[in-house]
């Protein structure tokens, strides 16, 4: 049982907690959440009962104040709706009330507290922690399986350490989730009442799933040592891990349904009255792209946070053995983060294209209008992510004796990356001084404007992805020497494949992006992505064939990374956090003055779009608070480790 | 050549290269972009030069020597005086009062409203389509005649600013700030649905949302001058003449 991790001392010390775990936030908060949701189910029964809704709509209709969509008189439709709602009620149909037309007085006031900033920060904090704790169990389970199959105890040990980091974060996730719910109920009761009239059943399901997730997480974590018998118990442990991941992912999908419903409502009529089919509301226009985007991004984010943890431990390690362990852990985590980072631009592009396709107004607000300027910051941050990831891989070549064979290629990779970044963040609409505007004769630069369009950016990002993969490939090769006689031929084939793929990507981007019908601009991104994925998969196969019986060229000496490479890992985590905050704000803010786009108007005193500077300050403040909490969690985890080591 | 000198020369070279379009062709690369380009070029160069300890030491050794070696006290003190003065000069140049005005955050194609009121009715811009567009396939001859009528309307009303070649270089264009938009190329009207162009023509500059600066547009609101059919015809013409197709999400 070489790979068995001895954690019995740890389990024994933890088992003293006994039933105490049921009183920790991870369990108590779900219970609170469940109770709150049940309470919420009561609110509409009184404050938003059918009679109240109808009375509200009736009164506003009489005063001519109801507007379904800005500037449109909908008196007749509202009257019809009230009749049909009453008729539906009499026939006991499961249709819901129309969305209430709110006024400023419908929003409770707490002296000195800004409802928007409170909900904003609570939601953002919850999302950061939730992304982390949902992602970690996914790759912990994969690492555990790899450890079991390969018999390499490092995987098991690292997987356990990952889940230990996330367990403290899980409590804070639950607490911030509770804060978010309470702040919503306090400040936006009508919105929550309406949403519960549509999603009530899913809210109850959410609470239940949260409970299942908590229980399975605690069994998974506390049972790690005792179930590590390499046989039936270990398999049972893996099954519990699977349940944990399934419940966590289902939770995210449900929450995504609520959020995307607010952007692209479905399953309701024009007045917002629920038509009775909850799945129609869940499966709204943006649900699937949002699910995919968040799922992949969460994995990358989780990997980046664990990478930052490994960097923290690496930098504070006092022994070579510890440095070696955390170097390996940081490498594994960064591999997860970088691997998941590669498809994110494509998932993001799909989501954005669907937003455009759902609403021209939301789409243009997002990237061409007021929030277009934030996309320059987004592009810079994504550039920072790719650069930091490549830098970490380049430094990693120093781990291997054979690394010198490949360091000469770094500058060429860097040149391609820089050129791609320049295209990536050159905006179409440029920030100009008055004299520049005058000299250029408008807002666009005649030479650079082509770089501001999506075909150029898709081309650039695909090339960035390919060259980041090439950095990884060279890093992997630096520790190995091939023994097959046809290795150089296979390498030449690989080079040819990369060349052909890059030419194809450039052709698709230039020809279909600029010389054909506009509709191909979006569509051509699909073969571009397929080209990138295909060439990476083919290269992986060739690499496997070349090196499957390869001798090690000195192998990798773990713990030999320069300290500055660890700061690259920290930079990845910080960039991800800030990026998620900024883009999360933009995604939410493109609804503008609607709680539920085109259906339920936000008439609170804060129903205006804040300035970009203000939004950036709030998000930056949140990022600092989150990173401070994460460092606190890292410190707490290291305390637990010290106790383990003493035993 | 020492690495630090290489880094300095590289950055200088890129800066000169980025300044050339402005100096030679009167088409300056915007300063906001130059700053971003230089920042990333410098960062990546430094990263490449610090992938190994030996390389990093070589890059930073002159700086460390300047800061630590007792024999270099005079050089050190000189640098310590020059650097803050240089920073002060840059700050002064950045904040000194001038006639340049503030940097504009103008979006040429801002988000449209969900609906507009014009010609006594309400248009939902999310679903609005050019009613004459379908004739392109069903009645091509009639469609061509509408395009021609659109051309006549264009030359009677729009070409003074947007130009005979629809390139934004009409007779009046040079007197306007910002200048009228060109319709040529694949990055302007081809990015937009016809409903968007309809809104921009009908409501003009005054109809722009606040964040797009309604005061920074010379486009009149054509609502009181052209009727609805004329607006749709002129839209047919500008797409046809420039060889562009309107953006359509239904494809």
pLDDT of residue A81: 52
Q: Which residues of B touch A373 (CB under 8 A)?
A: 105
Q: Considering chain A, what percentage of its residues have pLDDT values greater than 70? A: 83
Residue A364 lies in a domain: no
Give pLDDT tens digits for A392-404.
999 999 888 878 8
Sorting pLDDT into bands at 50, 70 and 90, what band is A84? low
| Position A360 in a domain | no
**Domain for residue A467, yes or no?**
yes
Which residue among B44, B173, B178 sits closest to A418, beta carbon to beta carbon? B44
Q: Are residues A316 and A421 in the same domain?
A: no
Is the predicted pLDDT of residue A443 greater than 80, yes or no? no
Pick the residue with more confidence: B245 or A119? Answer: A119
Residue A473: predicted pLDDT? 93
Separation in Å, CA B168 to CA A180, A428, B29, B112, B207 = 51, 17, 20, 22, 20
**What local confidence, expressed as pLDDT, does residue A429 receive?**
83
Residue A586: band (very low, low, confident or very high) from pLDDT cuts 50, 70, 90: very high
Residue A307 lies in a domain: yes
- Tell me the residue range of the domain where A62 lies: 49-96
Structure tokens at A27: 């369990």
- B97 and chain A: CB distance < 8 Å anywhere? no
Structure ipTM? 0.85
What value does the mean pLDDT take over residues A529-549?
92
User: A195-237: per-residue pLDDT in tens?
Assistant: 999 999 999 999 999 999 999 999 999 999 888 877 789 899 9
Does A502 sit behind a cis peptide bond, omega within 30 degrees of 0 on the bond before it?
no
Show Cβ contacts of residue A200 under 8 Å, excluding neighbours closer than 6 positions.
A41
| Cβ atoms of residues A407 and B134 within 8 Å | no
CB contact A611 to B (< 8 Å): no
> Looking at CA atoms only, how far is residue B230 from chain A in angstroms?
24
Residue A19 pLDDT exceeds 70: no
pLDDT the model gives residue A47: 42
Q: Write down the mean pLDDT value for chain B.
A: 91
Local confidence band at A88 (pLDDT 50, 70, 90 cut-offs): low
Lowest mean pLDDT among A34-43, A128-137, A345-354, B226-235: A34-43
Give the closest-approach CA distance of A449 to chain B in angstroms: 8
B62–chain A Cβ distance below 8 A for any pair? no
Residues of A in contact with B101 (CB under 8 A): 433-434
pLDDT at A65 over 80: no
Cβ distance B186 to A514 less than 8 Å, yes or no, reads yes
B19 in A contact zone (CB under 8 Å): no
Domain check: are A583 and A613 in the same one? yes
Q: Is residue A396 part of a domain?
A: no
Q: How confident is the model at residue A165 (pLDDT cuts 50, 70, 90)?
A: confident
Torsion-angle region of B111 (φ positive above 0: left; ψ -120 to 50: alpha; else: beta) = beta
Q: Which of A412, A433, A474 to mutate to test the interface with B (most CBs of B within 10 A)?
A: A433
Is the per-residue pLDDT at A16 higher than 60?
no
Distance between CA atoms of residues A356 and A361, nearest Å: 8
Residues A21 and A57 in one domain: no
Mean pLDDT, to the nearest integer, of A487-505? Answer: 95
Say whether both A417 and A532 belong to one domain.
Answer: yes
Are A211 and A173 part of one and the same domain?
yes
CB-nearest partner of A431 from B30, B100, B212: B30
User: Interhelix angle for A320-341 vs A153-187, to 10°?
Assistant: 60
**Helices A115-150, A287-316: crossing angle, 10 deg rounding:** 70
Average pLDDT over residues B214-230: 92
What pLDDT score does A551 carry?
67
B103 touches chain A (CB under 8 A): yes
Q: pLDDT tens digits, residue range A40-64? A: 444 443 444 444 444 343 333 333 3
Predicted confidence at residue A312, as pLDDT, reads 92
- End-to-end Cα separation, chain B, in angstroms: 57
Q: Which of B32, B39, B107 to mutate to test the interface with A (most CBs of A within 10 A)?
A: B107
Apex CA A15: angle with CA A11 and CA A19, to 5°? 150
How confident is the model at residue A21, as a pLDDT? 39
Q: Are residues A475 and A528 in the same domain?
A: yes
| Cβ within 8 Å, pair A362-B115 | no
- % of chain B exceeding 70 in pLDDT: 98
Of A418, A436, A513, the CB nearest to B30: A436
- A-proximal residues of B, 115-144, CB under 8 Å: 115-117, 122, 124-126
User: Is A353 an interface residue toward B (CB < 8 Å)?
Assistant: no
> A289 and A177: one domain?
yes
**CATH 1.10.287.110, domain B115-242, yes or no:** no
In a shared domain, residues A142 and A87 = no
A359-406 per-position pLDDT tens digit: 888 988 888 878 888 888 888 899 899 999 999 999 999 888 878 889
Q: What is the pLDDT of residues B17-38, one digit of tens each?
A: 999 999 999 999 999 899 999 9
Q: Number of A:B CB contacts under 8 A? A: 186
* pLDDT at res. A376: 86
Residue ranges, comma separated, of all CATH 1.10.760.10 domains in chain B are 115-242
Q: Of the given ranges (A34-43, A44-53, A272-281), which has the lowest mean pLDDT?
A: A44-53
* CB A606 within 8 Å of CB A116: yes
pLDDT at position A524 = 84
Judgement on whether residues A443 and A512 belong to the same structural domain of the protein? yes
How many C-beta atoms surround the C-beta of residue A553 within 10 A?
16
Residue A638 in domain? yes
Task: Output the pLDDT for position A574.
Answer: 95
Q: What is the pLDDT of residue A628?
A: 95
By percentage, how much of chain A surpasses pLDDT 90? Answer: 54
Verify that A225 and A298 share a domain, yes or no: yes
DSSP H helices in chain B: 3-25, 31-49, 53-68, 73-95, 135-138, 140-157, 159-162, 194-203, 228-242
Residues A584 and A532 in one domain: no
Least confident interval from A58-67, A104-113, A426-435, A600-609: A58-67
pLDDT surpassing 60 at residue B239: yes
Residue A23 has pLDDT above 70, yes or no: no
Helix axes A8-15, A612-646, angle to 10 degrees: 110
> Is residue A182 over pLDDT 90?
yes
Query: Residue A246: inside a domain, yes or no?
Result: yes
Cβ-defined contact of B187 to A450 (cutoff 8 Å): yes
SS3 label, residue A529: helix
**Pair type for strands A480-481 and B115-118:** unpaired
Give the confidence band of A349 by pLDDT, cuts at 50, 70, 90. confident
Under an 8 A CB cutoff, do A445 and B30 touch?
yes
* Assigned domain for A381 exists: no
SS (H, E, C) A295-337: HHHHHHHHHHHHHHHHHHHHHHCCCHHHHHHHHHHHHHHHHHH
β-bridge mates for residue A274, sequence order: A268
Domain end point (choices A552, A578, A596): A552
Taking residues A275-304, what's their average pLDDT?
93
Q: Which of A36-50, A264-278, A556-570 is predicted least confidently?
A: A36-50
Res A12 pLDDT > 50:
no
Q: Going by C-beta distance under 8 Å and a sequence separation of 6 or more, which residues neighbour residue A195?
A: A258, A261, A262, A596
Measured between CB atoms, does B23 come within 8 Å of chain A?
A: no
């Amino acid at each position: 049982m070489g790979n068995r991790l001895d954690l019995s001392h740890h389990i024994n010390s933890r088992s003293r907690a006994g039933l105490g775990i049921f009183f920790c936030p991870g369990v108590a908060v779900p219970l609170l959440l469940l109770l709150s949701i049940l309470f919420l189910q009561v609110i509409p029964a009184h404050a938003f009962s059918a009679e109240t809704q109808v009375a509200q709509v009736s009164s506003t209709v009489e005063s001519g104040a109801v507007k379904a969509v800005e500037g449109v008189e909908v008196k007749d439709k509202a009257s019809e709706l009230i009749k049909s709602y009453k008729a539906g009620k009499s026939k006991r149909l499961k249709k819901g009330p129309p969305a209430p037309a709110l006024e400023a007085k419908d929003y409770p006031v707490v002296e000195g507290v800004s409802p928007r900033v409170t909900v904003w920060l609570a939601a953002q904090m919850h999302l950061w922690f939730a992304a982390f704790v949902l992602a970690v169990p996914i790759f912990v389970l994969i690492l555990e399986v790899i450890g079991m199959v390969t018999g390499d105890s490092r995987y098991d040990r690292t997987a356990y350490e990952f889940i230990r980091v996330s367990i403290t974060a899980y409590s804070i996730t639950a607490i911030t989730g509770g804060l978010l719910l309470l702040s919503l109920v306090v400040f936006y009761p009508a919105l929550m009442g309406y949403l519960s009239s549509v999603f009530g059943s899913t809210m109850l399901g959410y609470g239940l799933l949260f409970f299942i997730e908590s229980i399975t997480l605690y069994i998974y974590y506390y049972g790690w040592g005792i179930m590590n018998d390499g046989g039936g118990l270990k398999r049972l442990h893996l099954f519990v891990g699977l349940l944990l991941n399934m419940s966590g992912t289902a939770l995210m999908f449900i929450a995504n349904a609520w959020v995307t419903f607010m952007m692209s409502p479905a399953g309701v009529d024009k007045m917002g009255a629920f038509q009775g089919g909850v799945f129609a509301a869940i499966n709204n226009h943006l649900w699937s792209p949002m699910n995919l985007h968040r799922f992949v991004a969460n994995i990358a984010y989780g990997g980046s946070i664990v990478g930052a943890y490994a960097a923290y431990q690496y930098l504070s390690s006092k022994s070579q053995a510890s440095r070696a362990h955390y170097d390996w852990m940081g490498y594994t985590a960064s591999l997860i983060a970088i691997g998941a980072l590669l498809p994110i631009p494509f998932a993001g592009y799909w989501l954005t294209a669907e937003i455009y396709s759902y609403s021209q107004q939301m789409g243009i607000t997002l990237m061409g209008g007021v929030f277009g300027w934030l996309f320059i910051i987004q592009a810079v941050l994504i550039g920072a992510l790719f650069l930091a990831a490549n830098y970490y891989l380049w430094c990693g070549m120093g781990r291997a004796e054979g690394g010198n064979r490949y360091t000469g290629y770094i500058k060429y990779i860097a040149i391609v990356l820089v050129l791609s970044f320049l295209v990536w963040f050159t905006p179409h609409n440029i920030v100009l001084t008055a004299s520049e505007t005058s000299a250029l004769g408008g807002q666009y630069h005649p030479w650079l404007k082509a770089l501001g369009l999506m075909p150029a950016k898709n081309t650039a990002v695909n090339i960035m992805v390919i060259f980041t993969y090439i950095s990884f490939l060279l890093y992997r090769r630096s520790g190995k020497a091939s023994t097959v006689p046809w290795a150089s031929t296979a390498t030449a084939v690989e080079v040819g494949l990369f060349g052909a793929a890059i030419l194809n990507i450039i052709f698709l981007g230039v020809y279909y992006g600029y010389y054909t019908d506009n509709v191909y601009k979006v569509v051509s991104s699909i073969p571009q992505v397929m080209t990138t994925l295909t060439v990476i998969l083919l290269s992986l196969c060739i690499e496997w064939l070349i090196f499957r019986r390869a001798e090690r060229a000195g192998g990798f000496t773990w713990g030999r990374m320069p300290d500055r490479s660890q700061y690259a890992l920290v930079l990845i985590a910080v960039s991800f956090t800030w990026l998620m905050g900024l883009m999360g704000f933009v995604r939410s803010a493109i609804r503008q003055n609607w709680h539920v786009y085109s259906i339920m108007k936000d008439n609170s005193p804060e129903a205006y779009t804040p300035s970009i500077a203000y939004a950036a300050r709030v998000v930056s403040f949140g990022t600092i608070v989150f990173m401070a909490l994460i460092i606190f969690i890292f410190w707490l985890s290291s305390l637990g480790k010290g106790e383990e080591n003493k035993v | 050549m020492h690495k630090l000198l290489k880094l300095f020369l590289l950055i200088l070279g890129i800066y000169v290269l980025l300044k050339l379009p402005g100096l030679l062709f009167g088409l300056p690369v915007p300063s906001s972009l130059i700053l971003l380009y230089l920042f990333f070029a410098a960062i990546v160069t430094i990263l490449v030069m610090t992938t190994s300890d030996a390389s990093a030491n070589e890059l930073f050794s002159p700086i460390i020597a300047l800061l630590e070696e007792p024999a270099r006290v005079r050089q050190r003190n000189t640098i310590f005086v020059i650097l803050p003065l240089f920073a002060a000069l840059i700050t002064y140049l950045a904040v000194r009062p001038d006639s340049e005005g503030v940097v504009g955050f103008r979006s040429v194609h801002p988000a449209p409203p969900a609906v507009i009121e014009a010609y006594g009715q309400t248009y939902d811009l999310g679903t609005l389509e050019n009613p004459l567009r379908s004739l392109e396939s069903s009645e091509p001859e009639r469609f061509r005649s509408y395009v021609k009528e659109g051309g006549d309307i264009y030359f009677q009303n729009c070409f003074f600013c947007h130009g005979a070649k629809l390139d934004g270089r009409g007779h009046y264009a040079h007197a306007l700030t910002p200048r009228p938009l060109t319709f040529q190329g694949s990055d302007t009207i081809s990015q937009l649905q016809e409903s968007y162009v309809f809104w921009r023509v009908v409501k003009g500059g005054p109809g722009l949302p606040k964040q797009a600066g309604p005061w920074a547009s010379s486009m009149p609101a054509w609502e009181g001058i052209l009727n609805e059919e004329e607006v749709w015809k002129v839209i047919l013409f500008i797409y046809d003449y420039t060889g562009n197709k309107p953006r359509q999400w239904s494809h």
